[in-house]
Amino acid sequence: MEEVEKTFLEEYLGAKDEAGKERYKNATILFSKSIFALCDFLLYQKLSKLPKNHSERFRLLEEYYPDVYSVVDTIFTHYTDAYSKPVLKETCEKIQDGIKKIVGNHEVPEAIKKAVR
């Protein structure tokens, strides 16, 4: 769990730094990766196992965390598009808002709460 928390913090803080430099493509990719780490944290907390891939992550979220699934499902397209299309500041903000929503509705470590505030 500690490693997943570290991964979230590194990617989330890196995304904020990239967004601050107006590098929205990099920020979108890192915000997306941080939300996946956050999902993995929640799933591990509940199931004591990590998903093997995005498909398994989505299936488990849909079953155990439908509220998180609905947030992440809308974000996934932005993540995959970011590799080949331009990214807007609003996209980064949407993903960041999704992260805040998940953190606000679920039990997560204080370091994650503090980073997301």
Predicted model pTM: 0.92
Report the mean per-residue pLDDT for the chain. 94
Stretch 92-101: mean pLDDT, rounded?
A: 94
The pLDDT-based confidence of 28 (bands split at 50, 70, 90) is: very high
Give the Cα separation of 101 and 3 in Å (integer). Answer: 22
* CATH number corresponding to 2-116: 1.20.120
* pLDDT one-digit tens code per residue, 56-88: 999 999 999 999 999 999 888 888 888 788 888
| pLDDT of 14 over the 90 cut | yes
Express as a percent the part of the chain with pLDDT over 90.
Answer: 83
Euclidean distance between the first and the last CA atom of the chain, given in angstroms as a whole number? 21
pLDDT of residue 19: 96
The pLDDT-based confidence of 51 (bands split at 50, 70, 90) is: very high
Give the Cα separation of 71 and 109 in Å (integer). Answer: 20
